[in-house]
Structure 1
């Protein structure tokens, strides 16, 4: 099968599409082999490929992902596809079923086929495209993790990075919860962010975050350029600062009105997001859809830090 292989850390050009052995679920209980129809290229893929980890996490990340080179040479942690082979002990799934999910630190979705654990999968609704299913999971699960049960009707919510993979979903989830949303993005993406439900948009190219007016009940930073002191200055009394991208120091100091740390990959969150997409209540923003052969270009787009919504590969 064809896969995007990364044998060393470096720029997007280190990714090469080549033939690799076909994976199998033989002898692997609770696994299925999935033909990948769509896979997201995320900021996590970009960071790992380039060994660019949040401040303070570098040594620990190298131990997890590979000290001198990536331990998992096929990146990609999000996918949607069709079951091609069923392993031992699998019930409730059959060849031909459409599924989607996340693979965690095992990665492997930037390929024509991937082996996935059944407990990390959900059925893809018939009315949701493979591209939208793959696009919604990474940013969507992060947005849901941070915002769920924290936004109340009338709350003022600031989403920093409102046009990205996390931000485009966060704006919509906060609005659905009754929040009054202000999105921070570039002026070029202002109309998009308004169309997703933001009442106000702040152009970060002309207005620094320190000059953002008002106090907010919830501040969600999806970019990583709000420190704890600066974030707290934006909060109303009783507000909460949510750091979806935080360095080690911020993560260690997060307590009380500051929340940081990784978001879990929960299948029940997958199902909730997909139901919203299927009902038309959540829009998935996919700015680029590229074939596997153009995976280098996908990484280049993500590396800019100005990716709009999601970038999706179609192996």
Structure 2
């Protein structure tokens, strides 16, 4: 099979498209023929080994060389073969999953307990847009944000991959949603369910006097202390990411939000889909929302498999509205 191999940190050019053996599923694994994947900031952070401080923190980044050989956290495809202990899937089933690695290949092995049936109403490309981004939004709003019907929710970074799902999920949970984005994406964010939209090129959401019960902070564009002004006294600040940087960011922004929490009345929390152990359960919840017509993937661009490096380069620019998907 063909796969993009990451042998050293660097720009998208370091990804090497090569032939490797098709993996053999273990007893509890399913071999999936990948039909579509998508790119996430998770991929290019691992590709570049940035921020450098993350190399000292364990997890996915190696100190000198990458720990992950084949990137790609999102996958939608068809079951090719199953291990002898697998009972829930059979060849031909259409599935999707959040992966630690392996999506940038023609085949991947996935544990049965991490795999979910693909939403019937979505194409493979649409389904591949869902796993990491929508899971992150769900974790941030439901699990960490403890969202409740009738609350006022602000999504900072509402036009990106996570943000477009967050706006829709928050509305599905009965919240009144305000999205923060640039001028060119105002109509998009309003069209997916935001009651109000703040154009950050014209207005600072931390200084306009409005208060929210929950701030899902994807963009990390304002300091933690400034974000407090946008929250009610008992509000919750859930941080997802922050501005990119070679040395410290977005880790620095996340730590600053969490470090302030013990000293103020507002709660602070972090949404981390990479370390989530309930991905299958979350994908099933998202499928229910998708099939009910409450959320739908917003796709900006589509690339062929051979152009994954170009897709990552485009995503790194930071202006993609919605998701960038790959047909395999």
TM-score, length basis structure 2: 0.89
Is 1:260–2:273 an aligned residue pair? no
Q: CA deviation at 1:127?
A: 2.1
Alpha carbons 1:217, 1:239 under 8 Å: kept: yes
Partner of 2:324: 311
Secondary structure (helix, strand or coil) at the match of 1:82 reads: strand
Residues of 2 paired with 1:212 and 1:143: CA distance? 25
Distance 1:261 1:169, change over 3 A: closer
Deviations 1:180-237 (Å, cap 9, x if unpaired)? 2111111101111000111111112232343344011111111223332122121012
Unaligned runs of 5+ in 2: 242-249
Partner of 1:34: 32
Alpha carbons 1:165, 1:309 under 8 Å: kept: yes
Deviations 1:243-302 (Å, cap 9, x if unpaired)? 112625336525561112523252111011122222322111111111111111110111
Distance 1:34 1:251, change over 3 A: farther
Partner of 2:226: 230
Partner of 1:7: 7
Partner of 1:211: 207
Distance 1:261 1:227, change over 3 A: farther
Partner of 2:90: 94
Distance 1:4 1:212, change over 3 A: farther
Residues of 1 paired with 2:16 and 2:208: CA distance? 43
Alpha carbons 2:46, 2:60 under 8 Å: kept: no
Secondary structure (helix, strand or coil) at the match of 2:21 reads: coil
Residues of 2 paired with 1:275 and 1:156: CA distance? 24
Residues of 1 paired with 2:295 and 2:102: CA distance? 27
Is 1:176–2:177 an aligned residue pair? no
Partner of 2:256: 250
Residues of 2 paired with 1:213 and 1:197: CA distance? 22
Secondary structure (helix, strand or coil) at the match of 1:66 reads: coil
Deviations 1:9-38 (Å, cap 9, x if unpaired)? 11122222221222112xx22011100011
Distance 1:297 1:213, change over 3 A: farther
Partner of 2:121: 127
Moved over 4 A (4+): none
Distance 1:90 1:303, change over 3 A: same
Q: What are the equivalent positions in structure 2 for 1:27-106 lying under 5 Å apart?
A: 28-53=26-51, 56-61=53-58, 64-104=60-100
> Which of 132, 145, 152 lines up with 2:148 in the alignment?
152
Residues of 1 paired with 2:320 and 2:86: CA distance? 38
Q: Give RMSD over aligned pairs.
A: 1.8
Residues of 2 paired with 1:31 and 1:251: CA distance? 38
Residues of 1 paired with 2:164 and 2:64: CA distance? 35
Residues of 1 paired with 2:195 and 2:60: CA distance? 41
Distance 1:261 1:281, change over 3 A: closer
Secondary structure (helix, strand or coil) at the match of 1:269 reads: helix
Partner of 2:290: 277
Q: CA deviation at 1:96?
A: 0.8
Q: CA deviation at 1:49?
A: 0.6
